[in-house]
Amino acid sequence: MGNTEWCALAPNQLRAIDTAKVVRHYRAGETIYNQGDACTGIHCVESGSVAVRFMETDGSSKMLRIAEAGRTLGYSDFFGKSGYRTSAVALNDVTVCHIPAEPLHSALTHNPALGFAFLAHGAEDLREADAQNVGQALHNVRARTVQLLLSLKDKHGEANDAGEIEVKLPLAWQQAAEMIGARPESVSRALQALAEDELVKVSGRMVTIMDLDLLLDDLETAQD
Amino acid sequence: MGNTEWCALAPNQLRAIDTAKVVRHYRAGETIYNQGDACTGIHCVESGSVAVRFMETDGSSKMLRIAEAGRTLGYSDFFGKSGYRTSAVALNDVTVCHIPAEPLHSALTHNPALGFAFLAHGAEDLREADAQNVGQALHNVRARTVQLLLSLKDKHGEANDAGEIEVKLPLAWQQAAEMIGARPESVSRALQALAEDELVKVSGRMVTIMDLDLLLDDLETAQD
DNA sequence: CGGTTCCTTGATAACGATCAAAGGCCGTGG
DNA sequence: CCACGGCCTTTGATCGTTATCAAGGAACCG
């Protein structure tokens, strides 16, 4: 199960969770759970990337975040206990293990350290949500696009021979647009502008950051 | 301490916290803690309203949320353990009690129920942050203004004889604008438009919702 | 190869930001 | 009690960014 919150567990507790857990595989586009479904437990992403999105009553929706391997999904809905607030959809081939409510609840009651791990996890998610809020309110599409690139580079970036960072995006422009609160056309134009300024190179879903420092400078210098 | 997460505590644990806590009073505009300060514990709002805001390196800032009586401040920074991510400023006269790290940590280790309470609290904050994200991305200033009004009416609204809801705003337009990611001028104009449509009446910081259902309809019908 | 889906490109329009100025509100001090 | 200064709010005019609409092109897949 990798080195996640579960490290906090004693061997016998871990065994109880391990026997109860269900491992599932999803292909790109498949739904892991749907907004409104009853919350039967939590989901841990073991590999792949999962999009978390929220849909409004009128049908419009927004992608809230991307959960990478090692992240836990639906835990906040679990503790909030009123069904899933969001939907989770696989962005590529994904392995998820589902942990039913009961063994989890029991482990939490017997091991405070596990609770701390979840609290830290929750703090991190809130931090990211707040950061997105701030970015959306204060920065223009170009800056938000850069921020998205920067946040994706950690998990999806790879340095090449030229000292550049190649980021293989796990999402379509359309979805990227949804993440930063813009239209696909605007993201397309923003990336084009960045390419013209020789800050990045774009080729399909592969974006190469030519000079990380220059890109960071660009964020600082941004007019809004 | 009202009926907050602390209800989960046994009498002797409660006493330990009670003796360690420090009650403080703040006047409008005073700072409870500053972004970047070391996190010495958590703060519970006992009365009044507290603004939580985040400032960027360039000086621009955004108000993230308003913490009302009964809410806990800084807990996510406490669990994230790297200083306060945000600043907290009193919007009006406020009573806050500060609970130092040590007794809190100890109570959490000995009482899993307290951990659950904080997890639920965190889930709620994340839910609200997500909702703000969605609103900011999908709705125009008028709709966001309405949403802010609706969210404030629960704590600051009061029904009058005519069946209307009078909402006494705890913040200036300027701050309201910062919350919904807009400029004060835009909020002013949005409220004016709502008044012209006879959905609300505005008089200083008192906003009267003339018909809640009509206002909700307006949100649904909104063009974006 | 035809279909779908996604991306680009261009033209236009609208929403909200920005700038500037004037008017209220309130506390302070004469 | 009135005058003053500061801060917030309103109002008007203009500008810019981004959404929107529309059409053409590229990539992918059966």
> What pLDDT, in 10s, does the model give residues A130-142?
999 999 999 999 9
Cβ contacts of B80 on chain A, cutoff 8 Å: 120, 123-124, 127
Cβ contacts of A115 on chain B, cutoff 8 Å: 108, 112, 115-116, 119
Tokens representing A93 are 């081939």
Residues 6+ apart with CB under 8 A from A221: none
CA B104: distance to chain centroid? 23
Average pLDDT over residues A185-195: 96
Average pLDDT over residues B166-176: 94
pLDDT at residue B224 in the model = 59
Cβ contacts of B134 on chain A, cutoff 8 Å: 54, 56, 62, 64
For a pLDDT cut of 90, what percent of chain A falls above it?
72
pLDDT of A10 higher than 80: no
Average pLDDT over residues B82-110: 92
Please state whether A198 falls in left (phi above 0), alpha (psi between -120 and 50) or beta: left
* E strands in chain B: 22-26, 31-33, 41-47, 50-55, 61-67, 72-73, 87-90, 94-100, 157-159, 165-168, 200-203, 206-209
* H-type alpha helices, chain A: 11-20, 75-80, 101-110, 112-138, 141-156, 173-180, 184-196, 212-221
Helix (H, G, I), strand (E, B) or coil at A187: helix
Which of B81, B119, B133 is the closest to A115 by Cβ?
Answer: B119
Q: Position of tokens 């951990």?
A: B115
Tokens representing A13 are 């507790």
Q: Position of tokens 């920065």?
A: A139
Q: What is residue B161's DSSP assignment?
A: T
**Which of A26-35, B14-23, B117-126 has the lowest average pLDDT?**
B14-23
Mean pLDDT score of chain B, rounded to an integer? Answer: 91
Best of A60, A133, A147 to substitute, by most chain B Cβ atoms within 10 angstroms, is: A133
Nearest residue to A101 via CA among A38, A148, A159, A151 = A38
* Phi, psi for A140 (deg, rounded to 5): -85, 180
**Which of A59-68, A165-174, B6-15 has the lowest average pLDDT?**
B6-15
pLDDT at residue A150 in the model = 96
Q: Which of residues 182-221 of B touch A (CB under 8 A)?
A: 220
Average pLDDT over residues A213-219: 92
**How many Å apart are CA B170 and CA B90, to the nearest integer?**
10
Report yes or no: B92 and B41 within 8 Å, Cβ to Cβ. no
Mean pLDDT score of chain A, rounded to an integer? Answer: 91
Please state whether B106 falls in left (phi above 0), alpha (psi between -120 and 50) or beta: alpha
For a pLDDT cut of 70, what percent of chain B falls above it?
97
Residue type, A144: R
Per-residue confidence at A8, pLDDT binned at 50, 70, 90? confident
pLDDT at residue A93 in the model = 92
* Phi, psi for A190 (deg, rounded to 5): -65, -45
- Contacts of B13-20 with C-beta under 8 Å, sequence gap 24+, read B13/B107, B13/B110, B13/B111, B16/B103, B16/B106, B16/B107, B17/B99, B17/B103, B17/B104, B17/B107, B20/B99, B20/B100, B20/B102, B20/B103
Report yes or no: B85 and A127 within 8 Å, Cβ to Cβ. yes
Per-residue confidence at A122, pLDDT binned at 50, 70, 90? very high
**How many Å apart are CA A122 and CA B120, to the nearest integer?**
10
Per-residue confidence at A220, pLDDT binned at 50, 70, 90? confident
Helix axes A112-138, B112-138, angle to 10 degrees: 20
Residues 6+ apart with CB under 8 A from B196: none
Tokens representing B39 are 């996190």
The rounded radius of gyration (Å) of the Cα atoms in chain A is 19
Per residue in B128-159, pLDDT (tens digit) is: 999 999 999 999 999 999 999 999 999 999 99
For a pLDDT cut of 70, what percent of chain A falls above it?
97
Does the CB of B161 sit below 7 A from strand D? no
Average pLDDT over residues B157-169: 91
Per-residue confidence at B3, pLDDT binned at 50, 70, 90? low
B53 in contact with A at a CB cutoff of 8 Å? no
Per residue in B38-87, pLDDT (tens digit) is: 998 999 999 999 999 999 988 899 999 999 999 999 988 988 778 899 99
Helix (H, G, I), strand (E, B) or coil at B71: coil
Best of A13, A75, A104, A126 to substitute, by most chain B Cβ atoms within 10 angstroms, is: A126
More confident residue, B1 or B207: B207
pLDDT at residue A197 in the model = 93
Report yes or no: A35 and B131 within 8 Å, Cβ to Cβ. no
